[in-house]
Structure 1
Amino acid sequence: METVTITTLESLELVEPIEKPLHKKTRRDFKTSTPTPDGYQSLWSSLDEIIIEEEKAPAEEAPPSPSVYVECSTMVAAANKSGHSTTPHSKAAKKRPANTVSAKTTKRRLILSVAGPSSSHAPSEEEISVLVNFGSDDEMSDDDGGEDMAQQTVFVPRATRIFMPDENETPEVLPLADVNDSVDRPPSAEIGPINKFDFRWTGFSSSNVPEVRREPFSDINCGPTLKLASPYKAFTAIWDRKIMEHIVVETNRYAQQVVADMLYDGSLAPRSRITSWRDTDADELYVFFAIILASGIMVKSRIETYWSVDQGILSSPGFAAAMSYSRFQLLSKCLHFSDNNNCNPDEMTRNEARLFKIQPIIAHLNNKFSGLYKLSQNIALDESLTQWKGWLDIKQYIPNKAATVGIKTYEICESKTGYLWRFEVHAEHELPPHDSPLSGTVPALVLKLLKGLEHKGHTVWMDNFYNSPALARELKVRGFDCVGTLRLNRQFVPNELANLTKRDLTVGELRGCTSGDVDLVVWRDKNLVALISTYHGMAAVKCGTVVKPSVVADYNVCMGGVDRKDQMLAMYPIERQRSRIWYKKFFKRLLNASVLNAFILLRSQQTVTHRKFRDSLVKDLIAAHKPPSPSAAPTTALHIPAQYGFLPGSQHDRTRRLCVVCKKRTNAYCKACNVALCVFTCFEPHHTRK
């Protein structure tokens, strides 16, 4: 039995891609009013004629494939004598068969038969019973299996059934060790793995049906878990009163600590801005968040320009009307999320100590993001980067990201919408004990991010930083499908693929193998491209005029969930303002991502654009939480004597009027009463009488 299948794209059958892109590629046709003269047809019309001629030409039938279905010894023997397979022939280009159960098929196999495709020996019933079919299950006919299928209520993943005992096992069946001694098996026949990480790599068979091998998934309840009516409701569903009150308490506490430290070291000046601090509340923080979000919509180079009094074309009077510049700077300085008195590095791990300042926000958002939305089938796992160029021991360098250097997060996003479902901040992985192939930091991280999604049929799309055969099988056991690129130096990759170089393959050539539930494919394009999948097999897809392996086409469609999220956030860069505190800048990034999630929650229920959502959110936050401007309190005028002005043309004589008390002429009067009064004799009696 061959270990690795060697083929080319031209020899593979063309199938329809499983995953469909959000927007189909369209071609713009310019139709002229005048007919085109003969001999001057456009390039597109020439191509269309060529395509039509090719479609009219009869398609050549594919060569007969070896037998992959074993129904009975008589049919197998007849097929071996005739030299043809019992399976029907297929044309070069056909659609994948529907996910239906055949009435005549009794066993579906993902590996070749015992004696091989070219052997004339028909396998006996004992030889067939001892073979382990990776990822397969019993498909019963409509006559004898209808009642059993109707009573089945618990769906067990296919990969899990590999290690489960057969419920219909009879006492006559011998244990695996006795069968090895009693049954006369051909030399090529092998017993299936008794260990989860015992990979038996074989070549691909022609019976691969991805729709059957893929884990079942129901998208009935996908989407938001709450009904939301407005951008404000969607935002406050994430940033509720509980977390806002927590930030209020910690911000007020930190402000008092700042004042105490400044008094202790003598740096508190009488005119310091912190001397005007007053405790904040949740309503003021909502307005503070609204101003931060507005700065991402209206981008300016410096923060103080938002409060400029210039009445020019670039003026923004709404910022000053919502909050003063001095108060905004005070809140930015004192914004805090954890009590510094609870920070004890001796009792914390390195990760906990590094993320102590921002940990309450991370925990809250992870809880809210995963609770407010149910993911669809395809989810992407990738890393994102928040730019930070200052000194920080946890910052990472990723050259293919837009930020290049900064704070790295591992994120689970929905492939279709980019919804951020869960994230973990990179703060130096904790090293678990090395006692199994999954004891590394990367597999532990993947399983931690996917916690809570087990046995639901999700397909996880990852790049070669995460993928490995051991992780793919573990995910398959837990009810996931796994697809992505692969590094050929991973553990359990067969040597026939691990030792391949670019010179060993020609352009368009493929090599691959399968262990039943895990498929490995190496494709030579401009460079070697290695991929791993749990259901794709080896098939080709025509993307426009280019033919690609089906796993490559689906990977290009579904892998961009995290990148789609970063692209939508880049249009509103609220975290671009300079800051000396890394966790405050990272908080703005999380605030920005939460607004995007709120937009996705609302968009699935009503039609709204991203820009309109943010505009409405800023206005609603200010309208709902900005305190009304205090009315002008009546001022109590002070009764102070004053003198009238000089007469016109004179510098010594003042205006004189009759005193309201003694009726004598005087040049003095009361400012509050605005009546003439003698200063020494009548001023006090006039204000003390009733």
Structure 2
Amino acid sequence: HSKTDGNTDDEESSASEEEASSSVSSENDSITTSDEDYHPVPDSSSSASENDTETAVEAERLMAEKVGEAAETGAPVAEWMSRSGNIEWFPTAEETMHYNPVPTSITPGPTLYAVARISTLRSAFDLFVTEEIIQLLCTHTNLYGRRKCENWRDVDDVEMRAYIGILILAGVYRPRDETTRGLWADKTGRAIFRATMPLYRYSQISANVRFDDKLIRPGRFRSDKLAAFRVLWEKWVARLPLLFNPGVDVCVDEQLVAFKGRCGFRQYMPSKPTKYGIKIWVTCDVATSYAWKMEIYTRKSPGSSREVNQGMRVVLQLTEGLAEELLRRKLALLGTIRRNKPELPPQLRGKNVLLLSTKHREPAVNDGEKKKPAAILDYNRCKGGVDNLDKVVGTYSCQRKTSRWPLALFYNLLDVSAYNAFVLWKAVHPEWESTKTYQRRVFLEELGHMLVTPEIARWPCAPRSKAAAAIVAEIQQSESEYDPQPINKMRKRCELCINRRTATTCSSCGKSVCKDHSAVVCVSCHP
């Protein structure tokens, strides 16, 4: 437990930075080259530099002065002094602030707003990818397509949702190593892709899908590196906290969206499986891994100075809504801390694990075989929220190979939206497919079919592939407005034989016809 010497703003900011840095540490306290504030320092005291030795001597000198002052005033004596010389460390916590659980009106799970609007799997997904987002996609895609393609046909909301449905289904069938042409192949592909839209149309939309007006982007890009994706991102990320209340434990960590193309804020993180990509700060609910808030890391803007206290800003920004509910940011903090921090005393540099906690007051140890402290157990339980999100999203991901970073972020947006929709759906309908172990796969498959069905239903003619034509005929027949046997309709005499009464009418002229004088014709052959 520590106490700062003095009440300057710089010292308070330093302590806040210490807490924020610990809360966003990764699972194994890994340090990456993307952290501009980090300079590696050996863990072993035997390999410490001469500067570190001088710092330790200076800390001992300051400590001796503090002991003398405490003896004169009768104040409690600190046991250690930080390397920076402004924080005293005590063996007890009698004078330090401590965390008391705060009663809250928040009920973990979907909000009332979300529950009232979830009736089908697609309605849960539409809460994230809203009609406003679909219209924004259509507007900018059509604008760019007209400029680049001579034979461009405008994309409407039905076709754009079908395009998203194809991406989701491609993630379910997991053909990420397969070429796009292979997905539409007669022998190796899936009939549902050919039944939804031709390959050339899918490729045309993928090449021209845009998220802003490129002509006015340069002016915005001078102050915002995310200008090509900012408008859609802000609209989407604002929906996340409106639909779900996190539980008591939340986790703030890094997500890396795989991308190796040209990007001004691409990161190299050797601790991640993908190594290269776009870093996103994510706040997750520990119990469900629901992505509650997200922020893309774009480095410093051109012409601006290096950001100071980045960790503190990120944590406070990503927990803003929750902190206000919990008595104006009186949150308990638990996380790993780096050994090279100047706020730590030199005596802690040789420890194997350093945890900073504002929740645990006593060094309680569990009764298990390994005798772990309670702080370690709580940290191990909560640290994997974002890592689990990466795992489940990566299992059925719609990511496709691309050289455009906005499209890579859009793929990740769809993956997170689909997973969050699954969390909401299962919370509202816990009995849904409860006996199956692959519920999320079933959810994504049904969601993909719901998104492509309206586009399939309006095909003007059947595809040449027999399997795709069968899917089109089946969906169009179920969606057809031509019903050969309408129900609750008055029976009338057949126009061709007056001795029979029937409720069936001709779809062309509307006259009543009996079974012997009618024929069944599919909607593809109907004039």
* TM-score (structure 2 length as normaliser): 0.65
Residue 590 (str. 1) matches residue 413 (str. 2): yes
Give the deviation of 1:206 after TM superposition: 9.4
Report what 2:451 is aligned to. 621
CA contact (8 A) 2:99 2:332 kept: no
Shift of 1:323: 0.8
- 1:362 maps to 233
Please tell me whether residue 203 in structure 1 is matched to residue 91 in structure 2. Answer: yes
Task: Name the amino acid aligned to 1:344.
Answer: P
Partner of 2:345: 494
Match of 2:297 in 1: 426
- Among 327, 340, 343, the alignment partner of 2:201 is 327
Q: 1:284 to 1:543 in 2, by over 3 A?
A: farther
1:401 maps to what in 2?
272
**Kept after mapping to 2: 8 A contact 1:244/1:282:** yes
For residue 334 of structure 1, what is the amino acid of its counterpart? N
**Cα distance, 1:441–1:631 mapped onto 2, change above 3 Å:** closer
Deviation at 1:496, TM superposition (A): 3.8
Match of 2:108 among 222, 228, 231: 222
Q: State the distance in 2 between where 1:533 and 1:325 align.
A: 55
Aligned position for 1:294: 169
Letter in 2 for 1:596: Y
Listed as ranges, the matches of 1:338-487 within 5 Å are: 338-345=212-219, 348-350=221-223, 352=224, 354-429=225-300, 439-457=308-326, 478-487=329-338
Question: How far did 1:231 drift?
Answer: 1.1
**Correspondence for 1:529:** 353
Deviation at 1:477, TM superposition (A): 6.8
Deviates more, 1:292-301 or 1:439-448: 439-448
Show structure 1 runs of 5+ residues with no match. Answer: 4-183, 192-196, 259-273, 458-475, 502-523, 633-690
Kindly indicate whether the alpha-carbon contact (under 8 Å) linking 1:248 and 1:280 is maintained by their aligned counterparts in 2. yes
1:288 Cα shift? 0.4
CA contact (8 A) 1:456 1:480 kept: no
Maintained 8 Å contact 2:228/2:406: yes
Structure 1 residues 206 and 448: CA distance shift in structure 2, 3 A: closer
3-state DSSP of counterpart to 2:299: coil
Kindly tell me the number of residue pairs found equivalent between the two proteins.
375
| Residue 241 of structure 1: how far off its partner (Å) | 1.1
Give the distance between the partners of 2:403 and 2:226, measured in 1 at CA.
Answer: 16
Secondary structure of the corresponding residue to residue 314 of structure 2? helix
Deviation at 1:325, TM superposition (A): 0.6
Per-residue deviation at 1:420?
0.7
- Find the structure with the greater CA-based Rg: 1
Corresponding residue for residue 304 of structure 1 = 181
1:257 aligns with 2:147: yes
| C-alpha separation in 2, matches of 1:397 and 1:433 | 21
2-structure distance, mates of 1:315, 1:242: 33
The one of the two structures with greater contact order (alpha-carbon pairs below 8 A, sep at least 6) is: 2
Higher helix fraction (1 or 2): 2
Aligned-partner Cα distance in 2 for 1:2–1:630? 74
Instruction: Report the CA distance between 1:189 and its aligned residue.
Output: 4.5
Distance in structure 2 (CA, Å) of the matches to 1:203 and 1:246: 58
CA distance in 2, matches of 1:335, 1:611: 27
Structure 1 residue 631: deviation in Å? 6.4
| Cα 1:318/1:348, change in 2 over 3 Å | closer
Q: Please say if 1:611 is aligned against 2:434.
A: no
**Following the alignment from structure 1 to structure 2, what is the Cα–Cα distance between the partners of residues 332 and 570?**
21
Percent sequence identity is 25
Asked whether the 8 Å contact 1:487–1:530 carries over to 2, the reply is yes
Question: 1 CA distance for matches of 2:305 and 2:328?
Answer: 22
In structure 1, how many angstroms separate the alpha carbons of the residues matched to 2:257 and 2:137?
A: 22
The corresponding residue for 1:246 is 136
Counterparts of 2:136 and 2:275, CA distance in 1? 33
Return closer, same or farther for 1:423/1:612 CA change in 2, 3 Å cut-off. Answer: same
Name the amino acid aligned to 1:303: T
DSSP 3-state at the match of 2:89: coil
Which of residues 396, 411, 416 in structure 2 aligns to 1:572? 396
Matched AA of 1:628? R
TM-score normalised to the size of structure 1? 0.51
2:506 counterpart residue number: none
Question: Structure 1 residues 543 and 243, CA, compared in 2 at 3 Å: closer, same or farther?
Answer: farther
Shift of 1:361: 2.2
Give the RMSD, CA atoms, in angstroms. Answer: 3.1
Distance 2:415 2:266 in 1: 20
Q: Does the 8 Å contact 1:247/1:337 carry over to 2?
A: yes
